[in-house]
């Protein structure tokens, strides 16, 4: 073990003990926590607060190592086989116990039982596992997935299955632009839903799984996506907040549209034409939200949160990374779906691309936009992605300069213009309700956009639509 790693301080995967405790249970909690997570090392002979090397008694060190090995083997279930080694540092000898990630989770202290004796590692400390996390460890240890489990106390009819099949295809058609690609989209059938894990067949009867409940918005306690805009770089001051309900694919699309409404839009000149350009790569925004929905833990009671600050877009999804999944691997394109049934349905609907490609494309898109590298954070049982905005109002795309359309148009009017592009058929009343202002205020903002030549009205006030020039 390299000295720089040895003295890096206690973290998710390293813990120090000045001596071997008389009662092995005092460190056995950390042993099972490492096995339930991504592994780790316990170092005996180092003071945890000062990192002073105290060392172990060299006359009895081999017996101590045997005692540790036997204690771990006897105390844990399933059996954990540690790697026990000596290391000399500053003329003193320490014992390094390495625990590898286990494949037969959950691991627990045998004398306490599975419910009381299972521990996990969170933010450098060992904690008793929460109920939802224990359920996830049990499923993972059996190579099963929550979204593919039968949804209890839910009955479905043939017509409801057909309705979902039709809805999935309609979404796939909407998300496909080329006619040649639309022609390749096949109908979804009952058997396809079974092959995905959205339905499950047992003893000749078809049952809905948790994926079916989430895709139809019928899950008891269906989670939502919480969106918010904050002034500054922390959550001290709310500017706007929304919660989106319904099926998970409807929530994802609503959250994506919300972000588009709130971020800045600029422009670029290509040839003779002016094109609108958002300050952040929109495909990456969409895929990040979609990945949060497809890969979050649905056993954890929290909600996905999409937060926009002055300096970044922050997307947080409940659930720690799965075994053998690391941030380094994700950047290289590695992916292991937590909810494969949902992932298959999302891939069919063209909501996500091939597994594992989203994070590499995110880094490439941010580099192309001239943005700082995105940040991936695994903390306290949640996973977060930060996509950073530029501090100034100018952005660059290729060789062109993009500026926010602000020549005489204030932020409120600019937001209306962005929203109008998404909803050209909205009436003045509908715009007023969305922005929570009076019809008179909206009418004044629309007039400013018309006077600037940005928009024009086609047709009547009730049956017409807004045309963006």
| Domain 225-403 annotated CATH 3.30.565.60 | yes
Fold (topology level) of 411-468: Arc Repressor Mutant, subunit A (1.10.10)
Q: How confident is the model at residue 6 (pLDDT cuts 50, 70, 90)?
A: low
Q: How many CB atoms lie within 10 A of CB 233?
A: 10
Measured in degrees and rounded to the nearest 5, phi and psi for residue 368 equal -65, -35
Encode pLDDT of 46-82 as tens digits. 998 888 999 999 999 999 999 999 999 999 999 999 9
- Which residues of the chain does CATH 3.30.565.60 include? 225-403
| CATH ID of 3-142, from 3.40.190.10, 3.10.180.10, 3.30.70.20, 3.30.950.30 | 3.30.950.30
Candidate from 80-94, 113-127, 256-270 with smallest mean pLDDT: 256-270
Q: What pLDDT does residue 51 have? A: 87
Encode pLDDT of 202-246 as tens digits. 999 999 999 999 999 999 999 999 999 999 999 989 999 999 999
Encode pLDDT of 261-272 as tens digits. 999 987 665 555
Q: What pLDDT does residue 175 have? A: 92
Between 92 and 461, the more confident residue is: 92
- 289 closest CA partner among 270, 273, 304, 272: 304
- Which residues of the chain does CATH 3.30.950.30 include? 3-142
8 A C-beta contact, residue 220 and residue 208:
no
- Which residues of the chain does CATH 1.10.10.10 include? 411-468
Question: Would you say residue 360 has pLDDT above 80?
Answer: yes
Share of the chain above pLDDT 70, in %: 89
Encode pLDDT of 422-469 as tens digits. 677 778 887 877 777 778 888 888 888 888 788 888 777 666 777 777
């Amino acid at each position: 073990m390299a000295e720089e790693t040895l003295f890096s301080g206690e973290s998710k995967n390293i813990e120090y003990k000045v001596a071997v405790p008389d009662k092995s249970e005092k460190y056995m909690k950390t042993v099972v926590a490492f096995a339930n997570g991504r592994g780790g090392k316990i170092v005996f002979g180092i003071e945890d607060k000062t990192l002073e090397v105290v060392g172990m008694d060299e006359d009895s060190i081999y017996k101590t190592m045997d005692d540790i090995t036997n204690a771990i083997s006897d105390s844990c279930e399933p059996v954990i086989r540690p790697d026990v080694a000596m290391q000399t540092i500053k003329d003193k000898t320490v014992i390094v116990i390495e625990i590898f990630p286990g494949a037969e989770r959950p691991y627990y202290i045998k004398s306490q039982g599975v419910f009381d004796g299972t521990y996990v590692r969170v933010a450098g400390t060992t904690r008793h596992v929460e109920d939802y996390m224990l359920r996830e460890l049990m499923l993972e240890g059996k190579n099963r997935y929550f979204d593919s489990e039968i949804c209890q106390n839910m009955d479905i009819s043939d017509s409801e299955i057909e309705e979902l099949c039709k809805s999935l295809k309609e979404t796939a058609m909407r998300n496909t632009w080329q006619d040649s690609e639309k022609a390749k989209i096949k109908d979804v059938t009952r058997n396809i839903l079974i092959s995905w894990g959205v339905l499950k067949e047992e003893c000749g009867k078809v049952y809905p799984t948790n994926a079916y409940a989430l895709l139809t918005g019928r899950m008891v306690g269906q989670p939502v996506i919480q969106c918010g805009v904050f002034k500054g770089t922390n959550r001290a001051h709310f500017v706007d907040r929304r919660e989106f309900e319904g099926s998970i694919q409807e929530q994802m699309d609503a959250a994506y549209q919300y972000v588009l409404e709130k971020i800045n839009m600029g422009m670029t000149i290509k040839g003779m034409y002016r094109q609108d350009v958002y300050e952040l790569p929109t495909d990456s925004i969409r895929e990040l939200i979609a990945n949060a929905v497809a890969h979050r833990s649905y056993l954890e009671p929290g909600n996905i949160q999409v937060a926009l600050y002055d300096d970044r877009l922050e997307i947080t999804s409940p659930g720690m990374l799965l075994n053998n999944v690391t941030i380094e691997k994700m950047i290289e394109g590695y992916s292991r779906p937590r909810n494969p049934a949902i992932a298959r349905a999302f891939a069919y609907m063209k909501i996500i691309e091939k597994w594992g490609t989203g994070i590499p494309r995110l880094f490439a898109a941010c580099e192309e936009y001239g943005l700082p590298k995105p940040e991936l954070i695994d903390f306290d049982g949640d996973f977060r992605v930060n996509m950073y905005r530029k501090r100034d109002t100018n952005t660059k795309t290729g060789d062109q300069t993009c500026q926010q359309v602000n020549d005489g148009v204030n932020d409120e009017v600019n937001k209306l213009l962005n929203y109008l592009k998404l909803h050209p058929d909205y009436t003045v009343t509908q715009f007023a309700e969305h922005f929570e202002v009076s019809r008179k205020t909206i009418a004044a903002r629309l007039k400013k956009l018309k006077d600037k030549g940005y928009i024009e009205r086609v047709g009547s006030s009730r049956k017409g639509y807004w045309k963006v020039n």
